[in-house]
Amino acid sequence: MDKKKITILDIAKRLGVSAATVSNALTGERYVKKETIERVKKMVAEMDYSPNMIARALRGKKRNIVGLITSNISNPFYGEVISGVEDIMSKNDYILVVNSTRFNRDTEIKVLRQMMNLLIDGLIFLGGSCGFSHIDNMVPSHVPMVFLNRKTANSRHTDITVDYRKAVKNIISFLVKNGHRKIGYAGWKNDSAMIPLEKFSGYLEGLKEQGIEKDDKMVFLKDDVPIREFREFREYVKHIYPVMGKEGVTALVSQSDPIALGLLEGLRSTGLKVPEDVSITGIGNIDQSKTSFPPLTTVHIPKIRMGRFGAEVLLDLIKKGENRKQVIHLKTTLIKRDSVRDIAKQG
């Protein structure tokens, strides 16, 4: 076999054992029967699997390589988080290997195989909506993992994110204080991703707390996961703005800043003015939200801090040789700019 294509999973399949068993047999991190270790070593030699990397792992030395898997590297939100991770890894003499899955489960599995073949010291997941079971099955238990902006129900790992439900409820409260009652929501559907669901839950709970009944006609969700949110929602305006006018929508809560900026641009092309005709809010506070016309009212997510903190936590886990089950919420701030009209005062 071509050794460049050989992975721990290939060895495990040939032997009829798990990838974790193969990894533990090679690294000595967890107990493995002596006869199994001998079988693994024999198969490694037979398949000529990365002998130099294996030898290093058998000596129990760190390789100073950390993997980062993100769902959409073109998203400016993720770009800022990655810069924070890079900053800490560089200061600690670690190599950061970054790969993007474009929200595709098969791609994520392929990237995971490549990362495992590198015998990385730790792994960061940034965003994503591909479930979790395949990750637990593929990544050996001794490899520390941290999840940024990707909540993982019932996992044994560290999640670092923000309370999106609370953040969206704060947006709703702000809009209502500014006289808005016809408040719509724009985003994309994804039943397997907890964060989009959490944002939408915040929208529904926020309306309820303000005594506003949900109106499905004011909820605009794309079925497919958009890779380029700005462009796709700029075009999506053509389909939703007639409904917005018919239903009298005065404000739109957007699932992210790129979505909000795409809607803002698209609405302008229809002749509608923001905020005179409709107010728009985002989530993220990416750099473009400060320079848009008008500047976007949004929720600030501490993206660079999220990246730095996530990297620091991972390095600590690597040093201690453990995973740690914990959920850490970073603080958010509502940034009030010019994309929301105060109709309570102006009428």
Tell me how far apart the alpha carbons of residues 99 and 111 are, in angstroms, rounded to a whole number: 7
pLDDT of residue 151: 80
Q: Which residue has the tokens 């989009």?
A: 196
Instruction: Read off the pTM.
Output: 0.81
Q: ∠ CA(133), CA(135), CA(137), 5° rounding?
A: 70
Tell me how far apart the alpha carbons of residues 235 and 82 are, in angstroms, rounded to a whole number: 28
Torsion of CA 26, 29, 32, 38, to 10 degrees: 20
- The kind and range of the H/E element at 291 are helix 287-291
DSSP 297: B
Bridge partner residues of 319 (DSSP): none
pLDDT in tens, 2-11: 445 577 888 8
pLDDT of residue 76: 92
Q: Hey, is 159 helix, strand or coil? A: strand
Tell me how far apart the alpha carbons of residues 69 and 114 are, in angstroms, rounded to a whole number: 11
pLDDT of residue 3: 44
pLDDT of residue 51: 44
pLDDT of residue 275: 97
Residue ranges for the chain with pLDDT beneath 70: 1-5, 27-30, 49-61, 129-131, 153-155, 190-192, 225-226, 347
- The kind and range of the H/E element at 226 are none
Which of these, 281, 305, 302, 308, lies nearest to 292 by C-alpha position? 281
**CATH architecture of residue range(s) 1-61:** Orthogonal Bundle (1.10)
Q: Which residue has the tokens 């999973």?
A: 9
Tell me how far apart the alpha carbons of residues 193 and 175 are, in angstroms, rounded to a whole number: 26
Pairing of strands 279-281, 298-300: unpaired
Record the tokens describing residue 238, joined without a space: 């053509």
Tell me how far apart the alpha carbons of residues 275 and 261 are, in angstroms, rounded to a whole number: 13
Bridge partner residues of 185 (DSSP): 219, 253
Tell me how far apart the alpha carbons of residues 235 and 292 are, in angstroms, rounded to a whole number: 18
Q: Is residue 183 within 8 Å of 207, Cβ to Cβ? A: yes
Q: How far apart are the first and last CA of the chain?
A: 73
Q: How many residues belong to the chain?
A: 347
pLDDT of residue 61: 61
Could you tell me what percentage of the chain is helix, strand and coil, using 3-state DSSP and rounding each to the nearest 5? 50, 15, 35
Q: Which residue has the tokens 């501490």?
A: 302
pLDDT of residue 154: 61
Domain 164-301+333-346 annotated CATH 3.40.50.2300: yes
| For the chain, domain boundaries | 1-61, 164-301+333-346
Bridge partner residues of 147 (DSSP): 125, 159
